[in-house]
């Protein structure tokens, strides 16, 4: 398993707020291999951002408590001291967000921000760093990079800013890039440009990417493997083919069926998932999806299901997935043979 870059085991993130204690990430386990793009999907509030920020321990100490393991390069990131984790943040793992202005420094030119990171991490001279910064801007598809390097973030358009942020994130040559909904605020034609860029960078730099999104279309486009989150837990993990061709968890199935497809039947009603996600302060005792699940029974309400490894690449957290699958295949058979 030497090709595993990041290995997360039973990760929990607890917040202690004025109103009490919530567990936003509750026992998450998955890994990312070298040069692999893993998608994290789920609806808003399911813990995608908290999980990804936990990897870099970005929350203010004192209000938060982490449990479990985040193994990276043979070390558990949760065990590192401040200085050590800072080094990982700058050197090995980079993060990009939906809003580039939250990461870009408004008072420095784009070129300077990249150059500084290069000087810091690659032992380069100022002149070398400036040249490399321009190279990076070109790599992320910014036209006339010599000129753009001298501009401030707020002078760039949305798409260009996103690219500039990616360039800054790449400046330290990270082994892992965590991208938290970087295309969500962008128009589809600009999103297409950024997804293309991500694909190319992944190939050229052999960099692992965790790509967080609520858009299953983006996942299908970019990732080779996906984890699906619901209310702080991973309910399913699968390869892209498994996820779309044979989703096992009722939540995954519901999500996929709820999307209006470009070739769907327009006159038909869309599939819906009844109800809404409960707040973290009222997490159900048994299966967290039980209140919304069409297959829930007493067992589901009483106790949380274990994670079952269905194939080498597909895992599911559901008591009844085999029964559900059999029924669905049965129905499919009837359709095929009748």
Partner 1 sequence: MSTLTLESSNEQKIESKETLLEIKNVKKFFPVKKSLLQFNKEQTYVQAVNDVSFSILKGETYGLVGESGCGKSTTGRTLLKLIEPTEGEAIYNGKDIFKLSGQELRKVRQDIQMVFQDPYSSLNPRKRIGKTLEEPLVIHNIGTPKERTEIVMEILSKVGLQLEHYFRYPHEFSGGQRQRIGLARALILNPKLLIMDEPVSALDVSIQSQILNLLKTLQSDFDLSYLFISHDMSVIRHVSDRIGVMYLGKLVEEAPTDELFANPLHPYTQALLSAVPVPKSGAKKERIILEGELPSPMNPPSGCVFHTRCPFAMDRCKMEVPMKKEIANGHHIACHLYDK
Ligand X SMILES: Nc1ncnc2c1ncn2[C@@H]1O[C@H](COP(=O)(O)OP(=O)(O)O)[C@@H](O)[C@H]1O
81 binds, among ligand X, partner 1, ligand SF4, none (CB under 5 to 8 A by kind): none
Q: Which C-beta is closer to partner 1: that of 101 or that of 192?
A: 192
Which C-beta is closer to ligand X: that of 20 or that of 306?
A: 20
Q: What is the CA radius of gyration of the chain?
A: 21
Q: Which is nearer to ligand X, 21 or 323 (CB)?
A: 21
**Around Cβ 319, how many Cβ atoms within 10 Å?**
20
What span, in angstroms and rounded, lies between the C-alpha atoms of 310 and 58? 34
On the CB side of 284, CA atoms within 13 Å amount to: 23
Nearest approach, Cβ of residue 17 and Mg ion (Å): 18
Among 8, 255, 300, 318, binds partner 1 (CB under 8 A): 255
Residue 275: CA atoms inside 13 Å, Cβ hemisphere, count?
A: 11
Sign of dihedral through CA atoms 154, 156, 162, 164?
A: negative
CB atoms within 10 A of CB 55: 23
Give me the sheet containing 64-72, strands edge to edge. Answer: 20-33, 4-17, 64-72, 75-76
295's contact among ligand SF4, partner 1, Mg ion, none, with CB below 5 to 8 A by partner kind, is ligand SF4
Distance of CA 1 to the CA centre of its chain: 22
Distance in Å, CB of 118 to Mg ion, minimum: 29
Among 163, 289, 310, 314, indicate the residue that binds ligand SF4 (CB under 6 A).
289
Q: Interface with partner 1 includes 17 (CB under 8 A)?
A: no
In this structure, what token pair is assigned to residue 185? 């605020």
Q: End-to-end distance of the chain based on CA atoms, in angstroms? A: 47
- Binding string to partner 1 for residues 180 to 199, with x set by CB under 8 A, is what? -------xxxxxxx-xx---
Sign of CA dihedral 292, 298, 304, 307: negative
Select from partner 1, Mg ion, ligand SF4, none the partner in contact with residue 196, using the beta carbon and a kind-dependent cut-off of 5 to 8 Å: partner 1
Residue 97 or 319: which CB sits closer to ligand X? 97
The first and second tokens of residue 159, run together, are: 């798409």
For residue 229, state whether it binds ligand SF4 (rule: CB under 6 A). no
Tell whether residue 45 is a contact of ligand X (CB under 6 A).
yes
Residues between 279 and 318 with contacts to ligand X, criterion CB under 6 A: 280
Nearest Cα neighbor of 188 from 156, 228, 226, 217 is 217
Measured distance CA(1)–CA(286) in Å, rounded: 33
CA atoms of 234 and 255, how far apart (whole Å):
14
Q: Does residue 278 touch ligand SF4 according to CB under 6 A? A: no
Q: Which residue is nearest to ligand X (CB)?
A: 49
Look at residue 244 and give the partner it binds from Mg ion, partner 1, ligand SF4, none, a contact being a CB closer than 5 to 8 Å depending on partner kind: partner 1
Q: Which does 216 bind (CB under 5 to 8 A by kind): ligand X, partner 1, ligand SF4, none?
A: partner 1
Q: Identify which range of 47-55, 87-95, 202-210, 249-257 contacts ligand X by CB under 6 A.
A: 47-55
Window 7-66: residues binding Mg ion (CB under 5 A): 48-49
Distance CA 264, CA 268 (A): 9
Out of 75, 150, 203, 270, point to the residue binding partner 1 (CB under 8 A): 270
The count of residues in the chain is 338
Q: Give the distance from CA 5 to its chain's centroid.
A: 15
> Which residues contact ligand SF4 (rule: CB under 6 A)?
250, 287, 289-290, 293, 295-296, 300, 305, 318-320
Q: Which residues bind partner 1 (CB under 8 A)?
A: 43-44, 143, 157, 159-160, 187-193, 195-196, 214-221, 240-241, 243-245, 254-256, 258-262, 264, 266, 269-273, 276
């Amino acid at each position: 398993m030497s090709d595993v870059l990041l290995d997360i085991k039973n990760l929990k993130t607890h917040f202690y707020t004025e109103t009490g204690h919530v567990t936003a990430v509750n026992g998450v386990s998955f890994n990312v291999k070298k040069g692999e793009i893993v998608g994290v999907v789920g609806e808003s509030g399911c813990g995608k951002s908290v999980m990804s920020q936990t990897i870099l321990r970005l929350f203010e100490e004192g209000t938060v408590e982490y449990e479990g393991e985040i193994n990276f390069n043979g070390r558990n990131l949760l065990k590192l001291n401040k200085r050590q984790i800072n080094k990982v943040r700058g050197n090995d793992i980079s993060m990009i967000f939906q809003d580039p202005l939250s990461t870009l420094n408004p008072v420095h030119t784009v070129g300077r921000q990249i150059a500084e990171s290069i000087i810091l991490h690659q032992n380069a001279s100022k002149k070398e760093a400036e040249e490399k910064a321009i190279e990076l801007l070109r790599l992320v598809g910014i036209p006339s990079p010599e000129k753009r390097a001298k501009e401030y973030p707020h002078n760039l358009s949305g798409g260009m800013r996103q690219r500039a942020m990616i360039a800054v994130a790449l400046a330290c040559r990270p082994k892992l890039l965590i991208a938290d909904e970087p295309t969500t605020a962008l128009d589809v034609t600009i999103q297409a440009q950024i997804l293309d860029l991500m694909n190319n960078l992944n190939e050229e730099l052999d960099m692992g990417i965790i790509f967080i999104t609520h858009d299953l279309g983006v996942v299908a486009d970019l990732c080779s493997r996906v984890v699906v989150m619901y209310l702080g837990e991973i309910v399913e993990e699968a390869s892209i083919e498994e996820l779309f061709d044979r989703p096992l968890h009722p939540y995954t199935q519901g999500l996929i069926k709820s999307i209006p497809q470009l070739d769907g039947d327009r006159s038909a009603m869309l599939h819906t998932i009844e109800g809404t996600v409960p707040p973290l302060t009222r997490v159900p005792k048994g299966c967290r999806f039980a209140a919304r699940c069409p297959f829930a029974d007493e067992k589901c309400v009483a106790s949380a299901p274990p994670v079952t490894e269905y194939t080498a690449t597909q895992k599911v957290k559901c008591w009844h997935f085999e029964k559900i699958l059999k029924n669905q295949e049965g129905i499919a058979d009837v359709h095929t043979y009748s």
